[in-house]
Amino acid sequence: MKLKIYMTQLLDTLASIIGLRKYCVLRFTPTHLNIISAALNEPQVWCKLSNNLFEHYEVESLRDNTISFEMNIEQLLQVLKQFEKSNSDKLAIRLQKKGNDSGKRSASLAVFFDDTISTTNTVTHTFSISVRLLRKESDERINEPELSNVDVLMKLPPDISSLFKRIDRYRSVNFLKIIGSKKGSLSLNVQEENNLNVTITWNEKLQVQQKKDSLTNIEDDEDDENFEILVKLKDWKLGSRICDICKNLVLIISQEEALVLHCYLDDDESCEIIYFISGVNQ
């Protein structure tokens, strides 16, 4: 197998999801790098970076040119931050297999870049991060969640974070109710034990999807219907931080299943983050 990429956009993606969990699966295919942060009965993040984001992207393996492994992304994130502060403009990542007599599928991710410290001196930084290669059977069991029903799908404006940040003041609250309507109304509701009940509503109607791949504004004389879902506040806060770095945002409510934030980090939609939060039954 062979994996070699030159990074042009990876730091923001890892930084936005590190708060959920440190260990993630990286799945390299011929066309995309998928970063998967998933655990049973917990929120999941699925990231997809197009190979066009990399100056050079090469993946070879006997498994349809797909390579998957689990790793601690915190270590990789620290290296990327160090690279960002350097005088280098190119970073390379390569997968290297390790010799192991125990039969375990071990390997390491080699990360290196040249840092120019003067007109005549250059220092090469090299890092080795341990990874656990996944067998085909294990990797095929890791699948992106699918919603059997979508109640509301609405496009969020870039400045929607101003609404989300209003929730930060309620530190003693454990749950948040998100309410969306077919006419494009979006509200956040918090309730505290002292019977405080606060609802914060976005002051403009949002575009909602009525048919597949069609976003529209609903006329005022049409019937409206609200759909709501209750989620853990700590899970919502991570999603709102992801929204801070995204250019295009879509919020999906499936009352019986999950809240989904579907985000793109760039205008050409070559870097995608999908965040799934399961609803809470009370």
User: Please, what is the average pLDDT of the chain?
Assistant: 88
| Confidence grade of residue 218 (pLDDT, cut at 50, 70, 90) | low
Determine the pLDDT at residue 282: 66
Provide the 3-class DSSP secondary structure of residue 234: helix
What's the pTM value of the predicted model, to 2 decimals?
0.89
| All domains in the chain, ordered by first residue | 2-140 (3.70.10.10), 152-278 (3.10.150.10)
Per DSSP, the residues of 44-113 read EEEEEEEGGGSSSEEEE-TTTT-EEEEEEHHHHHHHHHHHHHSS-S-EEEEEEE---TT---EEEEEEEE
**Could you tell me which of 206, 209, 214 has the C-alpha nearest to residue 152?**
209
pLDDT exceeds 60 at position 214 = no
CA 276/CA 253 separation, integer angstroms: 10
| Confidence grade of residue 226 (pLDDT, cut at 50, 70, 90) | very high
pLDDT exceeds 90 at position 120 = no
Provide the 3-class DSSP secondary structure of residue 267: coil
CA 184/CA 97 separation, integer angstroms: 51
| Confidence grade of residue 100 (pLDDT, cut at 50, 70, 90) | low
pLDDT exceeds 90 at position 263 = yes
Determine the pLDDT at residue 101: 56
Determine the pLDDT at residue 20: 92
Mean pLDDT of 216-223: 60
46: CB partners within 8 A, 6+ apart: 34, 35, 36, 37, 38, 144, 273, 274, 276
User: Which element (helix H / strand E) includes 42?
Assistant: none
Tens digits of residue pLDDT in 45-66: 999 999 998 889 999 988 889 9
Residue 73: CB atoms within 10 Å = 23
